[in-house]
Amino acid sequence: MTLILSWLGVDSRSPSSIYIASDSRISWGINRKWDYGRKVFGFKKHPDLLGYCGDVLFPTQVLSQIVELGDEGLLFKDSYTCKDKFEAIKEKFIQLFLSYPTNEQNIIGDYLAVIHASRDINQKFTCYVIEWQRNVGWSGRQADFSDHSDKLIVLGSGKKEFLKKYEAYWLSSNKKTSRALFHCFFDTLTNAADNYVGGAPQLIGLYRINNAINYGIIYNNRRYLLGVDITNLSGFEKLEWRNELFERCDGNTMQRLTNAQKQPNPLMNS
């Protein structure tokens, strides 16, 4: 299935960032897997992020189409709030789903979910999720925010393992920080007992300004973007990079930037 997490980053003033992180594994049963599946998407012309879990084929096709519709100016109006944008995404997603052969065996799984994270013109962040279950139908909700950095939505077959580790991370010296959430996510991903969770981490985010950031990830001493190993490519300086500690890194050397803050993980002796 997957492990997907959205969380809010809060600094000394107010919410300052929002993220969606995911694994990269696509599975067909326990023994058949592929660790390079894209699961997070960002709009280039709007401060909006998307991520999915559950069924793979339908969301990967439709979410890429929805992002293009948005960036071409066809999906959102200039006056849209975050909720308006969520409703537009949800409406188009469900409209396309209704024409999908969901009753055909092996065409679609029994569950899928989409996370939508957004920011408005007043620098206010929001996060929503829509879910479909074969025997239940559609449901949706808005995530509640805390006054500190914290998880918003956790989904997928790796959710139980993540939440178990989360309890320990939330008692550590890093509690109530973005790095604690990423440390917990990375720890769960790399040590998952669940065979449906794996591959490199994918990370996308928003700050108070500008649109989606696709982060390069240093994983097992290699470079990844959106689940794809890009170590043999070039132009790494074009990306913002993070390692397993959520530290800002140089994409060329794969080392922490000299002016970057250390982000030790007290539970991993890092």
Question: 234-255 pLDDT, tens per residue?
Answer: 999 999 999 999 999 999 999 9
Q: Quick one: pLDDT at residue 107?
A: 82
Q: What is the DSSP string of the chain?
A: ---EEEEEEE-SSSEEEEEEEE---EEETTTEEES----EEE-SSSSEEEEEEE--HHHHHHHHHHHHHHHTTSS--TT--HHHHHHHHHHHHHHHHHTS-TTSTTTS-SEEEEEEEEE-TTS-EEEEEEEEETTTEEEEEEPPP-SSSEEEEEESTTHHHHHHHHHHHTTSTTTTSHHHHHHHHHHHHHT-S-TT--S--EEEEEESSSS-EE-EEEETTEEEETTEE-TTS--GGGS-EE-TT--EE-TTT-SB-TTSPP---TTTT-
Instruction: Give me the helix-helix angle, 57-71 and 82-98, nearest 10°.
Output: 130
Per-residue pLDDT tens digits for 13-37: 899 999 999 999 998 877 899 999 9
* Diameter over CA atoms, the chain: 55
Q: Quick one: pLDDT at residue 1?
A: 66
Locate 215 and state its tokens.
């982060």
Phi, psi of 165 (to 5 degrees): -70, -35
- pLDDT surpassing 90 at residue 50: yes
Residues 6+ apart with CB under 8 A from 263: 179, 183, 245, 246, 247
Per-domain residue ranges for the chain?
4-249
- pLDDT surpassing 50 at residue 270: no
| Separation CA 153–CA 140 (nearest Å) | 12
Q: What is the mean pLDDT of residues 60-71?
A: 97
- pLDDT surpassing 80 at residue 104: no
Q: How confident is the model at residue 12 (pLDDT cuts 50, 70, 90)?
A: confident
Place of tokens 């390692």: 243
Question: Is the distance from CB of 101 to CB of 107 less than 8 angstroms?
Answer: yes
For domain 4-249, the CATH class is alpha beta
Question: Is the distance from CB of 55 to CB of 108 less than 8 angstroms?
Answer: yes
Per-residue pLDDT tens digits for 148-188: 999 999 999 999 999 999 999 999 999 999 999 999 999 99
Q: How confident is the model at residue 106 (pLDDT cuts 50, 70, 90)?
A: confident
- pLDDT surpassing 70 at residue 87: yes
